[in-house]
Amino acid sequence: MHTVVRAGQRDISVPVGLLMGGRFVAGSSGETFSVFDASTGQPFVEVASATEEDARTALEHAVAAQEEWAASTPMERSEILYRAFELVKQHTEELALLQSLELGRALPDSTGEVGYGAEYFRWFSQQAMAIRGDYRVPPAGVGRIITHHRPVGPVLAITPWNFPLAMIARKVAPAIAAGCTIIVKPAQMTPLTALYLGELLQEAGVPEGVVQILPTKSAKNISVLLDDDRLRKLTFTGSTEVGQMLASKAMEKSMRTSLELGGNAPFVVLEHADVDKAVTEALAAKMRGAGQVCVAGNRFLVHESLAEEFTRGVVAKMGEYVMGPGTREGVTMGPLVSAEERDKVAALVDGAVKEGATVELGGPEALAALGEEHPELDPQGYWYPATVLSGVMPEFEIANTEIFGPVLAIQTFSDEDEALRIANDTPFGLAAYVCGEKLARTMSFAEKMQAGMVAVNRGALSDATAPFGGVKQSGIGREGGFEGLGEYLDTVYIALES
């Protein structure tokens, strides 16, 4: 169940079957689905599509493996995870090329993600040996309180297309560290990275049935497992609407749930900010993966005294991005992942212009002239030009929707209270950013921002060793850091006699 795909200048052998019970196999129905090259809009490979029957078979494997895997030593699990880290690093080029091919993302961004995703395996290889309990005397002095941890049990992980390696790594790595078996449903648009990673995990020594990967053209074929009492945890990254629906289903079985959902991240440039630094960090927060990032800056709130200089700076920098197929050397911004995503971004920009925003770069006219200005781009690809809008108001649709594209929408404010009110006026709270050179005031502002993660004077905040997650409607639980392991462990209290 392998095939060879051409990615950039490389031929790469990739699995195209379901990873079940330690082997890559065809789906029970024999059906497949196409994976598309976002730069051409054309299919380039067929991948096996899992059915409900396959999902139930995978759960049987996971349940059968759970007890023995839970009894494995922390050292065994740690060594497997570290081997996985080493193998991912060794195969950086192949993984990056596959991501850029199926996702469309520029190669530098894909290479960065491979390094980031690998760190989850290294970090949790250490945490596997750091699981500990507690022994203490209760206040009354009668008996003793002992606590220890055991793995939650079989896990279902549902992951998105925008980080096809890292989103899996930060779920699979702590599951392995904790002693849980796990079934992964990767996104339909980006299954190849997941399957290639699955092969590396097998090579690292993951036992049969511990990690299984089920690509499918119908997500319902996998989410049917939420009806089974033997599945004990759901971890989901994706849209708020889908995540809440799945969590509601999981709660019918009182299942442990971790959700990383949508965002609407504010990027605030305070009056005392260093504008050059703010521009640099704004681009870091916005343009990775052509803006298709859950923690991407979405609402750029700039003090009115700095707005003109900031706008001029981001227009100059965004105008330097080079569009093209993600696997091509020199390209810094690839296409969006699908025609649907491209059309959504275009509609948001068109709507903002109709509501009164000013196009400073890109926008509808640049999109219309794309074929003429860039004849080297395949017209069937999912292209959208880097765009800067000014004059955006808080009530505009684009200010209340996760854009997921290369569009930087600028609002202005006159004082910090107004900025904080606008920044927090959203049902979401995944990430937030603030720039300012007066540290005490900037930190005070950051502490009042309603988000699970806040970056101060920096546009990149993701770190395998830090807790990742949101508040309000942006999610439940944390991934990464010390906190990430606890999501896969149950705490058991033993009351010891005196």
- Residue carrying structure tokens 């809008």: 389
Q: Which amino acid is at 135?
A: Y
Q: Which residues contact 351 (CB under 8 A, 6 or more apart)?
A: 396, 397, 398
Contact predicate 254/289, CB 8 Å: no
Gyration radius (Cα) of the chain, Å = 23
Taking the C-alpha atoms of residue 296 and residue 265, their distance in angstroms, rounded to an integer, is 7
- Residue carrying structure tokens 């807790």: 467
| Coil vs helix vs strand at 156 | strand
Q: Which residues contact 26 (CB under 8 A, 6 or more apart)?
A: 1, 17, 18, 48
Q: Which amino acid is at 189?
A: M
Contact predicate 458/284, CB 8 Å: yes
| Coil vs helix vs strand at 246 | helix
Contact predicate 125/485, CB 8 Å: no
Taking the C-alpha atoms of residue 234 and residue 236, their distance in angstroms, rounded to an integer, is 6
Which of 102, 119, 260, 281 is labelled catalytic? 260
Complete DSSP assignment for 10-34? EEEEEE-SEEETTEEE--TT--EEE
Tally Cβ neighbours within 10 Å of residue 133. Answer: 12
Examine the residue annotation and report whether 365 is marked as an active-site residue of this protein.
no
C-alpha distances in angstroms, 276 versus 51, 173, 175, 313? 52, 38, 42, 7
| Burial bucket for residue 464 (CB in 10 Å: 0-12, 13-18, 19+) | buried
C-alpha distances in angstroms, 345 versus 340, 363, 448, 456? 9, 10, 30, 28
Q: Which two tokens stand for residue 219?
A: 């997500």
Q: Which two tokens stand for residue 188?
A: 């339909």
| Burial bucket for residue 490 (CB in 10 Å: 0-12, 13-18, 19+) | middle
Rounded to 5°, angle at Cα 436 from 435 and 441: 120
Give, for 383, the enclosing helix (H) or strand (E): none
C-alpha distances in angstroms, 36 versus 49, 99, 242, 312, 337? 15, 12, 23, 37, 9
| Coil vs helix vs strand at 198 | helix
- Residue carrying structure tokens 């860039």: 374
Positions marked catalytic: 260
